[in-house]
């Protein structure tokens, strides 16, 4: 067992970071905006100079913002777990206000939760960001599973609340991925060769490089934005889901939506394979 349970609560110092209009455009393209699909060209997310169109940022872009890395990351406080056995289990984003297309933010990262699941350790890393005026902008919570790192006798944590979905989906939105989707998405900052290098992917047990889980998450969020929020980022308040299986670039995502007032549930599949489960969108 190499996880350090005393890392619970560790928080980094405040750090500033920024992004530009071009970064917002690149993220939108990375999650499929502008592709030939029922949502149309999405010029408000993919261009900054279209006549009569104001550029907007996709809400899920916050997953690539404000992230500390290396020695600056709170993960450095965990000790020496085997990162080759780590899985990104789930992701939650909370938007306290709509993301601007360009901004400078101040963010902190912390180890918000550590749970002992016996054969694995679960670590929740939380990022909180404020805008230039000091107002809360977004919160990201990434759930990380460290296989083989549990068993120290710690608290196992709360059990997941997975209320069964009621009947068939109210809507299904198909979201095609490009064969080069991962090569485009990686330009947002995640250069893990699992998503680009066939040799590395084969060593990890995959026939070919797989799509970033957060790209699947972002594409699902983009589908929800249009299907539930009429394309208005101000109505998109929070989103969460659990990663179930990988996606190969070129596969089609089918977003199944169970409508609700203020809280909509969803599940993303490839064929009959669930890739993002227990999804919840909070919206106005």
Q: DSSP secondary-structure letter at 76? A: G
Bridge partners of residue 174, in order along the sequence: 254
For 269, the token pair is: 């599949």
Nearest to 265 by CA among 280, 284, 283: 280
And the tokens for 190?
A: 């995640």
Known catalytic membership, residue 171: no
Burial of 245 (0-12, 13-18, 19+ CB in 10 A): middle
From 23, 116, 190, 278, the catalytic residue:
190
How far, in Å, CA of 213 to CA of 245, rounded?
A: 9
For the question of residue 195 being annotated catalytic, the response is yes
For 193-222, give the DSSP string. GGGT-HHHHHHTT-SS----HHHHHHHHHH
Active-site residue among 23, 88, 166, 195?
Answer: 195
Cite the active site residues. 190, 195
């Amino acid at each position: 067992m190499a996880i350090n349970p005393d890392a619970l609560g560790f928080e980094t110092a405040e750090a500033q970071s920024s992004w530009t209009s071009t970064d917002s455009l690149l993220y939108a393209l990375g999650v499929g905006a502008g592709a030939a699909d029922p949502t149309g060209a999405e010029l408000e997310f993919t261009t900054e100079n279209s006549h009569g169109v104001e550029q907007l940022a996709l809400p899920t872009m916050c997953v690539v913002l404000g992230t500390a890395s290396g020695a600056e990351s709170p993960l450095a406080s965990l000790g020496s777990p085997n990162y080759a056995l780590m899985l990104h289990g789930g992701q939650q984003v909370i938007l306290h206000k709509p993301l601007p297309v360009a901004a400078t933010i101040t963010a902190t990262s912390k180890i918000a939760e550590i749970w002992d699941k016996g054969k694995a350790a679960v670590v929740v890393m939380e990022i909180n960001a404020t805008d230039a005026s000091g107002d809360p902008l977004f919160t990201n919570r990434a759930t990380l599973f460290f296989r083989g790192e549990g068993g120290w006798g710690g608290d196992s944590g709360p059990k997941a609340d997975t209320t069964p979905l009621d009947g068939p989906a109210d809507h299904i939105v198909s979201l095609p991925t490009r064969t080069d989707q991962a090569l485009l998405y990686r330009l947002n900052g995640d250069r893990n060769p699992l998503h680009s290098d066939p040799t590395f992917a084969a060593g990890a047990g995959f026939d070919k490089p797989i799509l970033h889980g957060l790209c699947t998450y972002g594409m699902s969020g983009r589908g929800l934005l249009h299907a539930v929020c009429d394309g208005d980022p101000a109505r998109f308040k929070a989103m969460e889901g659990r990663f179930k299986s990988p996606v190969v670039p070129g596969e089609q995502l089918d977003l199944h939506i169970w409508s609700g007032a203020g809280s909509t549930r969803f599940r993303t599949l490839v064929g009959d394979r669930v890739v993002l489960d227990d999804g919840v969108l909070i919206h106005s």
